[in-house]
Amino acid sequence: MQEFELKYGCNPNQKPSRIYMRDGSDLPITVLNGRPGYINFLDALNSWQLVKELKEATGLPAAASFKHVSPAGVALGKPLTDLEKQIYFVEPDQELTPVACAYIRARGADRLCSYGDWAAVSDICDATTAQYLKAEVSDGIIAPGYTDEALEILKTKKKGNYNVVQIDPDYVPADQEYKDVFGITFEQGHNFFEINEALLDNIVSQNKDLSQDAKHDLLISLITLKYTQSNSVCYVKDGMTIGVGAGQQSRIHCTRLAGDKANNWWMRQHPKVLGLQFVDDIRRPARDNAIDVYTSDEYEDVLAEGAWQQTFKVKPEVLTAEEKKEWIAKMDNVSVGSDAFFPFGDNIERARKSGVRYVAEPGGSIRDDNVIETADKYDMVLCFTGMRLFHH
């Protein structure tokens, strides 16, 4: 297949629209089901690059959940704990494959932002992964292959219109890439830069104790940032992103946004949240939204008389500001990456409030000394990678 005609571009008025290879060769993808759109393919191709590179960097299966050309969540295929099964709505006795674990954790990183996502997995999509994905609101998936059973499951999703794309795992893009903006063509070299553990060798903090798990988490953050709309900052814990701040004009706003998302992920594990008694047959999106509102400052929206009965069997107790502060203070061993240098130590100050112990950023600010000093103040490990990772 040399080209694929699209219904329209970013918006319905942008026609005609298609994807094709400039050199006339065959596309490296095959549409196995559905009819993906312009934005679907942008998400698919960016998310595939991410999971492919993450698998190469760590040796573990990887998955991503993309929305509007940035990841909502990224994760490695580590086994789920009993607590993770509970907060990601997996049956306690369900057996899970590494690929399924990767996607479940990626989806669970930010369930609100993953609503209607594009999924990507680094390995062959199996039936277990497909079965979990079938129950979620999602637009499509890209993978290097699918088992027959997985494909049949996915073909039943969205009344048979779920988008399923297979990509050639050996495909390598051309050295140069092009993009037209306002009728003007931009050309640049493709970003083939390899992110690996060697990028973490320049530890500039006094604390130089960087464990293997922390290295993996920092690699996840950096590879995620490589495919996130800049400016961007990414928080990672235990092999998965827990907060991605994308597309902000100010670095500190990226750090705050991603940190707030990390806090939201952590709040889902609070005993009061785990004890919420939902009405029977509540849909997953309604349940996710209720949890998000309950843990926010807008909790009255779901606890008001006449409102709580629509969601809960028993009216929940208020999760007070003091309880939230105390719970968030228990976060620890979090890693954070930045796609460009932190200009001031205030980013480190904000990261610390979400349990950050490990930091990777390019360095190069005229205030690097202030950033290092702030990291040392909290006994953090700070790596200067020397590599900017802007993505637009």
Would you call 270 a catalytic residue per the annotation?
Answer: no
**Active-site hit among 40, 46, 163, 231:** 231
Q: Which residue of the set 52, 67, 215, 270 is catalytic?
A: 67
**Residue 91 half-sphere exposure toward CB, CA atoms < 13 A:** 8
The three state secondary structure string of the chain is CCEEEECCCCCCCCCCEEEECCCCCCCCEEEEECCCCHHHHHHHHHHHHHHHHHHHHHCCCEEEEEECCEEEEEEECCCCCHHHHHHCCCCCCCCCCHHHHHHHHHHHCCCCCCCCEEEEECCCECHHHHHHHHCCCEEEEEECCECHHHHHHHHCHHHHCCEEEEECCCCCCCCEEEEEECCEEEEEECCCCCCCHHHHCCECCCCCCCCHHHHHHHHHHHHHHHCCCCCEEEEEECCEEEEEEECCCCHHHHHHHHHHHHHHHHHCCCHHHHCCCECCCCCHHHHHHHHHHHCCCCCHHHHCCCCHHHCECCCCCCCCHHHHHHHHCCCCCEEEEECCCCCCCHHHHHHHCCCEEEEEECCCCCCHHHHHHHHHHCCCEEEECCCCCCCC
253 is catalytic: no
> 11, 13, 159, 392: which one is catalytic?
392
**Angle, CA of 200, 120 and 66, to the nearest 5°:** 80
68 has catalytic annotation? yes
Give the residue numbers annotated as catalytic, written as ranges.
67-68, 231, 392
